[in-house]
Amino acid sequence: MGFLVACFVNGIVSDLTGGTVQVVTQIPIGSLCGGSDPGTCQVRGNCSSPNVVLDNCRELNYNGADLDCCQNNIIGGGTIRGPGPSFIVSAPRGTRSPNMGPVRETINIFVSPNIGQLKFTLKTFDLPNPSVTGECDYKNSIMFSANQMQRGIFGPGVNSLCGENTGQHFYLPVTSGETVQVLVNIQGYGNAPPQSRKFASYESEYRILVEFIPINHMLAAPDGCLQYFTEGHGRITSFNFDGHSNLPWNQDYLICIRPKTEMAIGLTFRAETFAMPTNESCVNGENIIFQTAVPLNNQVFLQGRVCCSENNANSGYVSYTGYQKDGNSQSLRRYWCGDKLGPENGMSGSGYDVRVVSGQNWSTTLNYEPVGFKIDYKVDIGVF
């Protein structure tokens, strides 16, 4: 994803006769550096606070290049222009006391030409917990605003994150010339919700990596995918998940798993935590719901309609659709809701879509807390 901007630096060296020869070295200013904690190569001395020098760029083996690997940090609001990566960073934990007041910041991200997506990676994200309903209080959250996602990023009308989201990521489709905004508004709790493990506090910590992905780039997420995984194994987790707070209302987004391996024949789930809201008669999550174009029988059809359905305002679910090598979708879709992930959690296919949905409301009389999910996945390997 590195972008090269030609820049020439003149170097003076001695030749064997004692004279001098002028050598021109092309310096790749703007090239990516720093690995998973990226920066860009800049002329030494140009990386000023709050930006951080990670190292120099000699590992790129450009002879005579005197460059620093400079990490661009935005603290207290500002502007990100790209195409190099930047970090939206809070003040370090412990440096902001209640006497210093709340945090309100606006970050404007200008989309440069030929960019088709922004990727946000939440390297650290520890904010006040959501409310009893799982919703983020606008006074204690970070909101993301993008022109192409006006109906909601994480679901209808849902654009904010709060609570625990370290390690999460998401993609936003963008067009050249638009501005994406990140609005930080952290006032601190007046009264923490009952399930919160935190006391009333202004403390928060976030470190968000913003990356610009070119149109049709190999690292771009498939269309419609909010989250995108290509590894052979990993973990998918609902947003705002801390194991105590309820799943937010109005979630509706797609997690896409497209393993790089050519030998992928299926996917296996193993849930560390799984608790999705549904009707009281459907809380036994071991009953996997199958929905096909033609109902297998009336019982399955009714079970699918009642227990795990976007038409049920009291329900939420995780569903799965597989794709074959030719890209065709399987006709069979699996749904999970209730208090546990069913035991039959192996799915076929070589590419996988996982849809996450929660309704507008659910019963408060459930005998479990619908806290969302933390699921480990493993791509199954075989011979076609």
- For the 227-381 domain, the top CATH level (class) is mainly beta
What is the three-class DSSP state of 144? strand
Return the DSSP state at 235: E
Averaged over successive runs of 10 residues, the pLDDT of the chain (384 residues) comes to: 36 41 54 86 88 80 71 92 91 54 89 95 91 84 92 94 95 95 84 55 84 94 95 93 87 91 82 86 68 44 56 77 69 77 73 87 73 92 66
Query: What's the N-to-C CA distance of the chain in angstroms?
Result: 33
Going by C-alpha positions, the residue among 362, 371, 358 that lies closest to residue 155 is: 358
The third-level CATH classification (topology) of the domain covering 74-214 is: Jelly Rolls (2.60.120)
Kindly write down the DSSP assignment for every residue of 271-316, as one continuous string.
Answer: EEEEEB---GGG--TTS-EEE-SS-S-HHHHHHHHHHS-TT-TT-E
Q: What is the pTM of this model?
A: 0.84
The one-letter amino acid at 334: R
Burial of 224 (0-12, 13-18, 19+ CB in 10 A): exposed
CA atoms of 106 and 130, how far apart (whole Å): 21
Burial of 177 (0-12, 13-18, 19+ CB in 10 A): exposed
| Domain residue ranges in the chain | 5-71, 74-214, 227-381
CA atoms of 80 and 234, how far apart (whole Å): 30
Percent helix / strand / coil, the chain, rounded to 5:
5, 45, 50
CA atoms of 229 and 267, how far apart (whole Å): 13
